[in-house]
Amino acid sequence: MKFGKEFASQMVPEWQEAYTDYEFLKTLVKEIEIYKQRTRLARPAGLVRSHTLYRAFSGLTQRESSPGAHQAAGEVENQAILVQNVRREGEERSETMFLGAADEGGEYEMVYFRRLDDEFNKVLRFYRLKVDEVMKEAAVLNKQMVALIAFRVKVEHPQGWTNSVEETTQLASDAAASSAALFANTPSAVKASRRVPMAVIDEEGSVAHSEGQCDESHEDMKDGNGIEMENERVQEVKQKNEIKAKKRPAPLEILDRVKFNTSQETPRSTIKGFLNLPNQADLKFTEDNLRKAEDQLKRAFVGFHQKLRLLKSYSFLNIMAFSKIMKKYDKVASRNASKYYLRMVDNSYLGSSDEVSKLMERVEAIFIKHFSNSNRSKGMNILRPKTKRESHRTTFTMGFLFGCTIALIIALALIVRARNILDKEGRVLYMETMFPLYSLFGFIVLHIIMYAANIYFWRRYRVNYSFIFGFKEGTELRYREVLLLGVSLSVLALASVLANLDMEMDPITADYKPITELLPLGLVLLVIVTMLCPLNILYRSSRYFLLVSVFHCLLAPLYKVTLPDFFLADQLTSQVQALRSLEFYICYYGWGDYKRRQNHCKSNDVFNTFSFIIAGVPYMWRLLQCLRRVYDERDIHQGYNGVKYLATIIAVCARTAYTLNKGPKWKIIAWITSIIATIISTYWDIVMDWGLFQSKSKNRWLRDKLLIPHRSVYFAAITVMNITVFSLHRQTMVALVASLEILRRGLWNFFRLENEHLNNVGKFRAFKSVPLPFNYDEDEDEDKDE
């Protein structure tokens, strides 16, 4: 694979704007090559001069010097560029002076180096910013680790100290190790260690100096009368350290200034937040609280380590990009400029700083010691999970089951044709009862297939869907795995339909109608049991993630709304007919109609009442989520979004009322409300959710950034969104309309996540914040003192 493709494939998607624009620099080098080729063909053969005749003149009056000086002078004479660091607008920048401006085509090369400097300074600025961010986060994690160690000791020794000296020494050493580990190798820490002697607590509890201090003292003692001066210096440092120790809280005293952070993620905490009750809980030294704190801090360290890995990869990839592009330039321009420019890159902060590497090593050491019981293999497997690979077994099984699905569909069509089922009596009753039961699986399978297609195109156009949804690294499902679930369910559903028809038509089993009617119910129970199965089979982490999101939707607005929650609720708004099928299951099997194959559900007032509720419940969940987001984020746009769902609820209820009453009055109301809801929903989906219809965009009526290179795809999607099929009186259109709605939702999914991804790219947002377990009161005290 060429470097350009490899470079693009290894980029952090959300940081792609901060990387070196390698392709743009390649086009500049290509322009230089084209000019030189055109000039070489146009120049007469007798006027060809050597490039050395255009070098800067070194002078006649230079004195003879050593051979090394001759070599240096020759190097300067043959040098094509001069790279220097200047300070402008409060930041250090790199500027390259091209010394061959008088050469033919020199203006092209000057443009190249000017753009090269711009790219390098952009990369350097971004790298400095991110390193500063991780250093600040390291300071926060450092304080969290000190509190965790003290909390752990307090939980493990509830009766107090049994050996005060030994346990104090152990706690102090653990706290000092975790406190210093994250900063031991930073420039500020190194400089501080050179200026101020480090002090640690020795086995007897007294202050002992670090090795650096001892080394310095030995050097001073080498002077004649330096012994007394050294003793005075030791006493002075010891007094300063004792004063600092008095001001600094002891390891266990830290717990007096620490409280638990409790985010609004439960109904109870939400109610407390609404009532303006404090969300910080006093420390209770229990094993359960210790486990929760360790789990939270463990996730924080895993996320922090991932940031460091990506930041290290960012530095390496950009250095490689500058190396590759300079070698291309040397080859095209026949110069030797790469070594001078790459020397500058290596000496710059991007190439010479090792804060990230050393901090990564310290994070790994702390994590292995405190969170994996000193088991390095276990700790590194958590910090650096292996990339999930596609399994040939998954592909083969998916293909095999897909073939079975096609075979079952053909077999079903042949049975219906051969036995003339469509011409027999009772076909209408059979379709009114069995079709709603089995159509549930058809809607689910179609939605799964659309989701698999979404994943395929998200991956193709580098939409970081796993980060957007918040999937745990290595647990996200690929499109083949999603398709495997879909075709497995389709095979089970089609086999059940064939078994039902065969038992219905076979004279031997014709009398066992109750048993034949129980087949779809058994399949539904199988799906529910599989979803709730606690065993680590059939993608347990994904099933758990889905169940948690469903639970948050059911209890809206008592949970803080995240993207997976409202994204799932949007999917449920397109599965209203599937929810009505579930309602029919309860009615058909709960009231015993399946024993006689009779359908009295539609004549029951309770069933009709719940038809209104089921039709509006998914939209009600979204309305409540919008209200919760207005409360949490103070975003008025979420209030407008809530108006959209309120209009949809009214339209859905009006259509349901017309379906039940069949009156001209309800027909007019249903049409008016549906048109209003469609206009509002279409505008919001296209303009707000997709970010399109921007009149001042570079791409007319779309947006500035598009992942799909063909703009016609976006206009086709907008056209499809505007097509809405209403089914107000023809029951035979129900399945078709529901299927079209699922297809529309699948189309919406891709562009919705594309817009979310581009928003993350614009803000360089590649990581989600991880809640930390402890909150220090000392920060508030410092603010008050100031």
Structure confidence by residue, pLDDT tens digits, 630-671: 988 888 999 999 999 999 999 988 888 887 777 788 889 989
Residue 279's pLDDT is what? 57
Can you give the pTM of this predicted structure?
Answer: 0.79
- For Cα atoms 211, 196, 231, give the angle at the middle one, nearest 5 degrees: 70
Q: How far is the CA of 226 from the CAs of 233, 305, 393, 679, 693, in angstroms?
A: 10, 46, 76, 88, 79
Q: Of 195-204, 220-229, 405-414, give the range with the top mean pLDDT.
A: 405-414
374-378 mean pLDDT? 90
Residue 230's pLDDT is what? 54
Closest C-alpha among 174, 180, 178, 248 to residue 212: 180
Residue 603's pLDDT is what? 78
Q: Of 187-196, 233-242, 597-606, give the range with the top mean pLDDT.
A: 597-606
32-37 mean pLDDT? 86
152-181 mean pLDDT? 60
pLDDT at 261 over 70: yes
Q: How far is the CA of 425 from the CAs of 68, 502, 515, 516, 598, in angstroms?
A: 107, 16, 21, 18, 15
- The percent of residues above 70 in pLDDT, for the chain, comes to 76
Residue 432's pLDDT is what? 76
490 pLDDT tier (thresholds 50, 70, 90): very high
- The percent of residues above 90 in pLDDT, for the chain, comes to 36
Query: Would you say 197 and 209 are in contact if contact means Cβ atoms under 8 Å apart?
Result: yes
Query: Would you say 129 and 15 are in contact if contact means Cβ atoms under 8 Å apart?
Result: no
> Residue 170 and residue 59: Cα distance in Å, rounded?
70
Residue 108's pLDDT is what? 87
Residue 62's pLDDT is what? 46
Q: What is the pLDDT of residues 319-367, one digit of tens each?
A: 999 999 999 999 988 888 888 899 999 988 898 888 999 999 999 999 9
Domain ranges across the chain? 392-762
Least confident of 23-27, 176-180, 548-552: 176-180
pLDDT at 136 over 70: yes
Query: Would you say 480 and 395 are in contact if contact means Cβ atoms under 8 Å apart?
Result: yes
Residue 735's pLDDT is what? 83
129-147 mean pLDDT? 92
Query: Would you say 431 and 525 are in contact if contact means Cβ atoms under 8 Å apart?
Result: no
Residue 736's pLDDT is what? 85
Q: Of 34-38, 44-48, 159-163, give the range with the top mean pLDDT.
A: 34-38
Query: Would you say 358 and 185 are in contact if contact means Cβ atoms under 8 Å apart?
Result: yes
Token pair recorded at residue 481? 């795995």
- For Cα atoms 523, 527, 530, give the angle at the middle one, nearest 5 degrees: 135
670-675 mean pLDDT? 92
Q: How far is the CA of 684 from the CAs of 155, 482, 567, 644, 670, in angstroms?
A: 53, 29, 15, 8, 21
> Residue 530 and residue 505: Cα distance in Å, rounded?
31
Query: Would you say 124 and 94 are in contact if contact means Cβ atoms under 8 Å apart?
Result: yes
Least confident of 268-282, 336-350, 502-516, 621-635: 268-282
Residue 404's pLDDT is what? 96
Angle between helices 287-333 and 22-42 (to 10 degrees): 0
Residue 260's pLDDT is what? 79
> Residue 341 and residue 330: Cα distance in Å, rounded?
11
507 pLDDT tier (thresholds 50, 70, 90): low
515 pLDDT tier (thresholds 50, 70, 90): confident
pLDDT at 254 over 70: yes
pLDDT at 556 over 60: yes
DSSP-based helix, strand, coil % in the chain, nearest 5: 70, 5, 25
Closest C-alpha among 200, 205, 203, 235 to residue 217: 235
Query: Where do we find the tokens 């006093």?
Result: 282
Report the greatest alpha carbon distance in the chain. Answer: 119
Query: Would you say 472 and 389 are in contact if contact means Cβ atoms under 8 Å apart?
Result: no
